[in-house]
Amino acid sequence: MGKDYDAVIIGAGPGGYAAGIKCARNGLKTAVIERDKPGGTCLNYGCIPSKALLGSAEFIIKARHAHLMGLDVSFGEPNWGKIQSRKDAIVKSFTSGVEGLLRSNGAELIRDDAVAEGRGSVRLNNSGELLTCKNIILASGSEPKEIPSIPFDGEKVISSKEALSLSEIPKSLVIIGGGVIGCEMGCLYAALGCKTTIIEALPRLLPREDDWMGRLLEKEFRKINLKALTDVKVSSADTSGDLCRLNLSSGEVLESEKVLVAVGRSPVISEETAEALSLEFNGGEVVIDEKMRTSAEGVYALGDLAGKTYLAHGAYLEAEILADILAGKDGKIKDYRLVPRAVYSFPEAAGVGLSEKEAQERGIDYSVTKSGFLANGRSLAHNQTAGEVRVIKNNADGRIIGVSMVGESATEMISSARLIMGTNEKAGEVSFPHPTVSEVLKEAWMGAYGESIHLPPKR
């Protein structure tokens, strides 16, 4: 006879471990099963290691521009070994922290592979032990999508996972995909001195955001020697030689040492689990409702497996709400568009709420106010003047329904923008410290109501 739990969670990524901690805090007997490393893709192969590397790359760019700040700085080659060691140490500290948090909160971490055999029944593949439970939470995450004609080989054609742990900086890199991962990895390797090109099949970078954001990023990327080719597809590829040779739909031919395929991610779930539970799928994603319930009674799914946001903080949100639901409290996901979206490129980009295109598609009578970083005192003082903030207001009721931004500290400011979503409060009554970069958000917010003293009056 196996152990009995209130909740068994398959996967210890952001959604899985957060659900484990919160379920245990809510008094539920909880087990979290992980076949790889605690923290999932985010902590080990995604968010944390990529931002650690981008942090080093940002210093490189600032050093190169130090003369604009009145500083004479001599700059040598980046020490890739030390940069990687720093990244690895940061990752290790976080994964160790996750284990400690689960343990200290009373959740059991089980290192094994698992299959849900049916309602209330989870089998550990390696030990053969059977766990019984009242609720199963599927949080097995996602993996990089592969292009069938250009399969991953881990050497020349790589995914984002390999891109974070290369043994040396390549001399040239082509990135297929101009979304979040493509833009971030492009900025990283361009800053390191690698000849880097992004290829995006759609007409702009960040195709899920408003047009202006992708166009502005493409312009700014040129300043760090990052080239972007949009509205272009890879027709064929030859990776048999020393260099990868890519034939593009534009007729251009690119050669590079490595090719990074960054065309998105696909949910991961074992076929045995999917069949045993008779789960409903939409594409490769498990279908859930606003309470994270799947088509199988007593079975829930969250994070990348459900594919609502493909964001770690989106999974955190789902996990906390679901843990309360399982403890008998009321809760549901109100609107996934209220989960902020962040891109840690140079410059940064972020958004929350509706885009202008979505507002148009919904037939909303809206207006847009813009505020630029060039007119911001802190941005000028730090020589970070590229970009702007745009605020979208519903003209029918005066509520803020969307905010988008490209520029310094955008990924930090977007959380403040989330707090003004749905409000029609007078921005002039909210004080922002001066001088701060966040004042760019305030000006756009005030401008939406014609109250800004620094933006031209609305006509």
Q: What is the pLDDT of residues 433-450, one digit of tens each?
A: 999 999 999 999 999 998
**Would you say residue 109 lies in a domain?**
yes
**Would you say residue 342 lies in a domain?**
no
Low-confidence ranges of the chain (pLDDT < 50): 1
Annotated binding site, which residues? Answer: 51, 177-184, 200, 264, 304
Which of 304, 336, 368 terminates a domain? The answer is 336
Which of 201, 228, 263 terminates a domain? The answer is 263
Task: Give me the pLDDT at residue 1, please.
Answer: 44
Please, which residues have CB within 8 angstroms of residue 254's CB and are 6 or more apart in sequence? 174, 197, 199, 245, 246, 248
Please, which residues have CB within 8 angstroms of residue 35's CB and are 6 or more apart in sequence? 111, 112, 113, 114
To the nearest 10 degrees (0 to 180), the angle between helices 47-64 and 180-191 is: 40
Strands 349-353 and 341-343: antiparallel
Inter-residue contact 12 to 32 (CB < 8 Å)? yes
Annotated binding site for NAD(+), which residues? Answer: 177-184, 200, 264
Task: Give me the pLDDT at residue 80, please.
Answer: 97
**Would you say residue 454 lies in a domain?**
no
CATH code (residue 87): 3.50.50.60
Looking at the fold, whether 126 and 37 belong to one and the same domain comes out as yes
Number of structural domains in the chain: 3
Looking at the fold, whether 128 and 273 belong to one and the same domain comes out as yes
Task: Give me the pLDDT at residue 86, please.
Answer: 97
**Would you say residue 150 lies in a domain?**
no
DSSP conformational letter for 252: -
Inter-residue contact 149 to 259 (CB < 8 Å)? no
Q: Which stretches of 223-273 are assigned E, i.e. beta strand?
A: 226-230, 234-238, 244-248, 253-256, 258-261, 265-267
Instruction: Give tens-digit pLDDT for 71-123.
Output: 988 877 899 999 999 999 999 999 999 999 999 999 999 999 999 999 899 99
Which of 206, 228, 263 terminates a domain? The answer is 263
> What amino acid is encoded at 146 in this protein?
E
Looking at the fold, whether 206 and 330 belong to one and the same domain comes out as no
Looking at the fold, whether 14 and 41 belong to one and the same domain comes out as yes
Task: Give me the pLDDT at residue 415, please.
Answer: 95
Taking the CA atoms of 139, 144, 149 and 154 in sequence, report the sign of the dihedral they define: negative
**Would you say residue 455 lies in a domain?**
no
Using the structure block, give the residue that is written with the tokens 């020393």: 242
Looking at the fold, whether 137 and 274 belong to one and the same domain comes out as yes
> Which active-site residues does the annotation give?
434
Task: Give me the pLDDT at residue 451, please.
Answer: 86
Task: Give me the pLDDT at residue 455, please.
Answer: 85
Looking at the fold, whether 93 and 211 belong to one and the same domain comes out as no
**Would you say residue 277 lies in a domain?**
yes
CATH code (residue 424): 3.30.390.30
Looking at the fold, whether 233 and 369 belong to one and the same domain comes out as no
Annotated binding site for FAD, which residues? Answer: 51, 304
Looking at the fold, whether 133 and 272 belong to one and the same domain comes out as yes
Task: Give me the pLDDT at residue 56, please.
Answer: 96
Looking at the fold, whether 15 and 122 belong to one and the same domain comes out as yes
Report d(CA 22, CA 15) in Å as an integer: 11
**Would you say residue 151 lies in a domain?**
no
Looking at the fold, whether 257 and 294 belong to one and the same domain comes out as no
Looking at the fold, whether 166 and 136 belong to one and the same domain comes out as no
To the nearest 10 degrees (0 to 180), the angle between helices 439-447 and 410-419 is: 40
Looking at the fold, whether 123 and 171 belong to one and the same domain comes out as no
Domain that holds residue 363: 347-447
Q: H/E element holding 60?
A: helix 47-64
Determine the number of helices (DSSP H) and then strands (DSSP E) in the chain: 13, 24
Task: Give me the pLDDT at residue 429, please.
Answer: 82
**Would you say residue 149 lies in a domain?**
no
